[in-house]
Amino acid sequence: MEGPLTTNSQPYALVITGVSSTITPPPTPTPSPTPTPLNPAPTVSLNSPTNGASITLGAQFTLSANAADLTSNGAVGVVSKVEFFNGTTSLGAATTAPYSLVWKPTAAGNYILTARATDNQGAIGTSASATVSVLAALPAPTISSFAPTSGSVGTSVLINGTNLSSVTGVQFNGITASVWKIVSATQLSATIPLGATTGPIKVSTPTTSATSSTAFTITTPLTRVVISQIYAGGGRWWSDYSHDFIELHNPDSTPVRLDGWTLQLARGSESSWIAVSLKGSIPAKGYYLVALAGGRFEYDLPKADASGYFDLAVKQGKVALMRNATLLSIPSPLGLPQLSDLVGYGSANAYEGSSPAISPERYDAIFRANAGATDTNDNYKDFDWGYAAPRNSATPVTLRKNQLLPRKFR
């Protein structure tokens, strides 16, 4: 029916033509894929060499680096290799930590070195660069002579030759000296190390070495025994002890045989000496008592290990401990190879160091410090007063307190 619809028209209807009766819903949108996290590059740093370092052509050099890696989710990753480069030229690679490579340059010049780390997914990280100078090799050293030609451990030796300014090490028959220094291009000094034996001297540079044509002879050091106490007041009415005495001390850890040794004594300015022959041994860290002239009012000494009749002067005197029996005939034995120790006291004209030791007094002996072991080769500094306390090789006597014991009359 065409035309307007009115209230008088029955029935009411509306027909729409040309349209499908089925309505299609819109399509559901496809969700976007979650993006895959990127694999971070490993981190790497070059430890050695440092920037500005220099080495000599022909020397080997260790390249080393630290490297670490993380996966895309932050877990610890895997470093497959660390490769070392000079510019763009590969010098080699290390596949396990610690990452290092021994490198020996083939030409002098400046090298720009880097380390490049690669992880197991192919990501690459590169270190900061280090510039290294490779210096042309210096001429080989030579050894022409050395002095002295023999000595014990601790002796200082002057080594003469050429091209010694590039030396980096000194050996005595294969034992490395820890104390040495370059004096000039033609001389260096070295101290004989512990454990050295007779044999050649060798000096080394980073690229070469030189060996002496003759051997340096290692000698056994002479045994060291010192004069530890001097008492010159024996046998007098005011004395503590019946005799003057000299006490010796062995500061070392092994006993010392004294057979053939002599204790020689002289007045302060004389060249005439009196010798007391010694025998037996002095214990390790022990003492040895030499009794001298004596008198009546006093306590007896402990049993002496040796004895003589020389009367020590209280105000001045000289005592020399010699490793032989040759009687001295000079004012001072200083410098003689067989002298073990010398003490001059009071106004003596021969002594070790800056000045003579102080003189003994009535009740006081003069003692070396540290129970007799202090020996700085200076009599004035090494000795001080103390109540006489003689100690022998059998039973060391405990030092007395600052008191006098009653004397007996014999």
3-state secondary structure of 353: coil
Say what the pLDDT of residue 137 is: 77
- Percent of the chain, pLDDT > 90? 62
Which tens digit of pLDDT belongs to each residue from 257-313?
999 999 999 998 999 999 999 999 999 999 999 999 887 655 778 899 999 999 998
Average pLDDT over residues 59-67: 92
Average pLDDT over residues 143-155: 91
Say what the pLDDT of residue 64 is: 96
Average pLDDT over residues 206-211: 88
Say what the pLDDT of residue 110 is: 95
- Of the candidate ranges 168-172, 195-199, 371-375, the one whose mean pLDDT is the lowest: 371-375
- Cβ pair 192, 152 in contact under 8 A: yes
Say what the pLDDT of residue 396 is: 54
pLDDT at residue 81 is higher than 70:
yes
Q: Which amino acid is at 199?
A: G
Say what the pLDDT of residue 10 is: 58
Whole-number Å distance between alpha carbons of 402 and 391: 17
Q: What is the DSSP string of 356-395?
A: PBPPP-SSEEEEETGGGT---S-HHHHEEEEE-----SSS
β-pairing, 130-135 vs 142-147, is unpaired
Q: What is the DSSP string of 266-333?
A: E-TT-S--EEEE--SEE-TT-EEEEEEEE-SBSBPPSPPSEE------SSEEEEEEESS-PPP-SS--
Average pLDDT over residues 53-71: 90
Average pLDDT over residues 403-410: 36
pLDDT band (50, 70, 90) for residue 406: very low
Which tens digit of pLDDT belongs to each residue from 128-141?
999 999 988 778 99
Say what the pLDDT of residue 195 is: 81
- Cβ pair 363, 404 in contact under 8 A: yes
Which tens digit of pLDDT belongs to each residue from 13-36?
555 555 555 667 777 777 777 666
* Contacts with 242 (C-beta within 8 Å, 6 or more apart), sequence order: 234, 235, 294, 295, 296, 298, 299, 300, 301
Average pLDDT over residues 192-196: 86
Of residues 242, 267, 258, the one with CA closest to residue 319: 267
**Radius of gyration of the CA atoms of the chain, in A:** 46
Say what the pLDDT of residue 367 is: 93
pLDDT band (50, 70, 90) for residue 357: very high
* Contacts with 149 (C-beta within 8 Å, 6 or more apart), sequence order: 214, 216, 217
